[in-house]
Structure 1
Amino acid sequence: MSTDGKLLRFAVGEEDSGGRVDKFLVQKNRDWSRMTVQSWIRGKRVLVDGRPVKNNYRLHVGERVEVQEPPPEEPNVEAESIPLDVVYEDSDVIVVNKSRGMMVHPAPGIYSGTMVNALLAHCHDLSGIGGVLRPGIVHRIDKDTSGLIMAAKNDVAHQSLAAQLKAHSVERVYVAVVNGNIPHDKGTVDAPIGRDTKNRKRMAVEHKNGKPAITHFEVMERFQRATMVQCRLETGRTHQIRVHMKYIGHPLVGDPVYSTNHRKFSIDGQALHAKVLGFFHPRTGERIRLETELPKDITRLVDRFRVQTG
C-alpha cells in the first residue's frame, strides 16, 4: 500500500458481513463516490486484513479495512482581475458583497473566476491557513447566494475570525424569499444537518448523523404565495437556511436543489442574500457591523409578488 495521503481504518461489524467492500466504504464516507473507491481498490489503496482485494470482495465480521487516500492535488490558483464589490477593507480583513453566480473558492475542475482568484489580484496577501485553494477564506456562502463574506489577510486575523465563528459571536443575518405563507411571525428551527443519505450531493435534516444546526427566522412581509423572511444563523452548516426552510415546508423561491417549482420564477438560483455581517476586529477588538441592500434580482422578485398580492 502506498504511504502517501491519509490512512483510514474501519472494522467490519455483523451488519456489514456479506457486503461488497466498495459499497461498504461508500457507506462509511458519503463524500466518496463508488467510482473513486473502485479506482483506489484497483490501485491497491484498499486492503482487507493487510491484503489487496477486488471491488466485489465480500466482507466478513472482524475484518479490518484500510484505506490510503491519495494526497489532494494542489493546482496553481492564478490571480485574476475580476471586479469586486468591497464593502470594508484594512490590513487584516476584507469584506466583499459577493454577486450571485460567483463561487467563493476553486473546486475540482473549476480553478478560475472565483472570489479567491479576484482576491489574489486585489489583495496580494491573504492568510495561508486555508491552503492553496482557499487562501484567506474563513467562511463560505453558496455560489448562487449573494451578499457579505469576509476574508483574512494574515494568519492571526484568520485565527481570530475563525474562533469568533466557532463561539457564535459573528452576526450573520440573511434575507430570503420562501414559497408559501409562513403562519408564524417568528420561530426557530433547531434540527441537525448532514449529508442526505439518498443523494450525497444534497444536505438534509439528519437526526442520526447530522451536526447541530439552529436558524432563527422572522417574517418581514407576506405575499399571496410567498413570504420574505429574515434569518439569523446561530450555526453555519452547509446549505443551512435552504435545508431548514425546506424542512418546515417553505423552500426558498428559485432554489434548484431543494424546491420543486424553482423554474417558475425569473431568478437564477435561490432568493437568498447575506445582508448583515458583524464581527470583532481581530487586531483592535472593535465591533464592526456591515449591511448591504438587496440585489436587484431579489428586489424585482419582491416587487412582482407585491403586485400579485395587490
Structure 2
Amino acid sequence: MKKESLTADKKERLDKFLHRHIGGSRNQIEHLIKKGFVEASGKPVTKAGYKVSPGETVLYTIPEEPTYEAQAVDFDVPVIYEDDDILVVNKPSGLVVHPAPSVKEPTLVDWLKAKGVNLSTISGEERHGIVHRLDKETSGAMVVAKNNEAHERLSRQLQDKSMGRYYLALIDYPLKDSGIVEGPIARNPANRLKMGIVSGGKPAKTAFQKLLESPKNSFELIAAKLYTGRTHQIRVHLSSIGRHIVGDNLYGFKSRSGTIDRILLHAYILYLDHPKTGHAMQFLAPIPTGMRSTLESYFEKEILNEVLDPCALLRHFDRDYERLCT
C-alpha cells in the first residue's frame, strides 16, 4: 500500500475534498476515513466531517483488497424479483449472508457469484451486492444491489427509513400489548455470542404488533418493524420484555419438543423505492414450508391467511399502509 498526498485549496469537509480529488463513491470515501486510511497534518482523521484548511496536507491510502475465492455451492435461493439494478431473494434460514473469517460454509454472496449475478462493489469483495443483512437463522426478503449507483441509493433509503422490512415471529408468550421497545444494543459482555441491551450501545427501536394468539398453547404470532438495524435486534428486544422467539434457544426459548429446528422469525415484507425509477415497490417473501406448517399446527388456516394478507398486516402501521396499499 502506498500513501498519496493532496493539498487542500479551500476550507471544506474532508469527505467532500477527497471525493472531489480522487472520486469513488460516498461509501468508499467514508470507509477510508473511518478505517484510518486518511491523515491530515500528519495525524489520523476518522471523522468525515473534519474540515480541511487551505494549504493543509492530506495523506490517503487505498488498501489492497484481499483476494477472495468464492466457494462452490450446492443449493439454490428463491428469487422474488430481478431487473438490471436489483435482485430480491427469499433467504433460507441457516444461510450466512457474506463470508467472514469465522464462516466456513458457502454464503449468499458465494451463491450470487456462482450464478453470475452482476453485483455492486462498494462494500468490498466479500460483501459484493450486500446492502443489508439478515441473521443466519432468519429467513426472508433481502435486496441485493447489482451496480454501485443502485447500492448508494438503497443505502440512503436505509438511512432515511424509506426502505424497510416487516417480520413475522412466533413467540412463547403473548405480548401484554402492541407497542414500541427501545434500548441500546451492543455485544453482551457476559456472552460474546449474544447481543444485549447495554448502556452506551447503539440506539435501537422496534415496533411489535399482536396478530394471533394460539388456542392450543401460549404461543402468539406477532409482526415486528425495525426502525434501526442492529444485530439480533428483534431477539434482544423481545428478550428484554421476557418474551422469546420459538426455536431461539440462544435468547431463552425453552424447547418443549424436538420438532422445531429453526428460529421462527421471517422477514415477510420488504418495501423500497426503486433506485432508478423511484417507484414504490413492495415484495412478499413466502413463508418457508416448515415454518408455515408449524404455524398451521397452532392456528386455523383460514384465520392465518387473513392475518397474513400484506395489506391487512400493514393496516396496523398507518403510514406504511397509506403508502403501500392505497
1:166: which partner in 2? 159
1:59: which partner in 2? none
Separation in structure 2 between the aligned mates of residue 204 and residue 295 of structure 1, nearest angstrom: 28
What does 1:92-131 align with in structure 2 at a 5 Å threshold?
A: 92-110=85-103, 112-131=105-124
1:285: which partner in 2? 278
Q: CA deviation at 1:248?
A: 0.9
Provide the secondary structure at the position in 2 that maps to 1:257. Answer: helix
2:211: which partner in 1? 220
2:174: which partner in 1? 181
1:249: which partner in 2? 242
Separation in structure 2 between the aligned mates of residue 159 and residue 179 of structure 1, nearest angstrom: 39
Summarize the Cα distance change of 1:182–1:107 in structure 2 as closer, same or farther, 3 Å threshold.
Answer: same
Provide the secondary structure at the position in 1 that maps to 2:161. Answer: coil
- Which segment drifts farther, 257-266 or 214-223? 257-266
Separation in structure 2 between the aligned mates of residue 265 and residue 188 of structure 1, nearest angstrom: 32
Separation in structure 1 between the aligned mates of residue 121 and residue 269 of structure 2, nearest angstrom: 26
2:39: which partner in 1? none
Q: 1:218-246: CA deviations, max 9, x gaps?
A: 11101221110000111111001011111
Q: Which amino acid aligns with 2:213?
A: R
Separation in structure 2 between the aligned mates of residue 72 and residue 261 of structure 1, nearest angstrom: 43
Maintained 8 Å contact 1:253/1:265: no
1:195 aligns with 2:187: yes
Q: Which amino acid aligns with 1:297?
A: G
| Aligned positions, number | 237
Percent identity of equivalent pairs: 38
Q: Which amino acid aligns with 1:131?
A: G
Q: TM-score, normalised by structure 1?
A: 0.71
Provide the secondary structure at the position in 1 that maps to 2:125. Answer: coil
Q: Which amino acid aligns with 2:195?
A: M
1:210 aligns with 2:207: no
Provide the secondary structure at the position in 2 that maps to 1:173. Answer: strand
Q: Which amino acid aligns with 1:283?
A: K
Summarize the Cα distance change of 1:286–1:79 in structure 2 as closer, same or farther, 3 Å threshold.
Answer: farther
What does 1:1-310 align with in structure 2 at a 5 Å threshold?
A: 74-78=67-71, 80=73, 82-110=75-103, 112-184=105-177, 186-206=178-198, 208-223=199-214, 224-262=217-255, 264=257, 266-306=259-299
Summarize the Cα distance change of 1:265–1:299 in structure 2 as closer, same or farther, 3 Å threshold.
Answer: farther
Maintained 8 Å contact 1:254/1:263: no
Separation in structure 2 between the aligned mates of residue 193 and residue 97 of structure 1, nearest angstrom: 26
- Which segment drifts farther, 146-155 or 71-80? 71-80
Separation in structure 1 between the aligned mates of residue 298 and residue 204 of structure 2, nearest angstrom: 30
Q: TM-score, normalised by structure 2?
A: 0.68
Gaps of at least 5 residues in structure 2 are: 4-63, 301-326
Provide the secondary structure at the position in 2 that maps to 1:105. Answer: coil
Q: 1:2-49: CA deviations, max 9, x gaps?
A: x99xxxxxxxxxxxxxxxxxxxxxxxxxxxxxxxxxxxxxxxxxxxxx
Gaps of at least 5 residues in structure 1 are: 5-70
Q: CA deviation at 1:260?
A: 4.1
Maintained 8 Å contact 2:245/2:253: no
Q: 1:143-185: CA deviations, max 9, x gaps?
A: 111100111011111111111111111131000001112221x
Maintained 8 Å contact 1:80/1:120: no
Q: CA deviation at 1:125?
A: 1.7
Provide the secondary structure at the position in 1 that maps to 2:114. Answer: helix
Q: Which amino acid aligns with 1:221?
A: L
Q: CA deviation at 1:284?
A: 0.8
Separation in structure 2 between the aligned mates of residue 121 and residue 112 of structure 1, nearest angstrom: 14
Q: 1:56-92: CA deviations, max 9, x gaps?
A: xxxxxxxxxxxxxxx9955322464642210011111
Summarize the Cα distance change of 1:131–1:79 in structure 2 as closer, same or farther, 3 Å threshold.
Answer: farther
Separation in structure 2 between the aligned mates of residue 296 and residue 199 of structure 1, nearest angstrom: 32
Structure number with higher helix proportion? 2
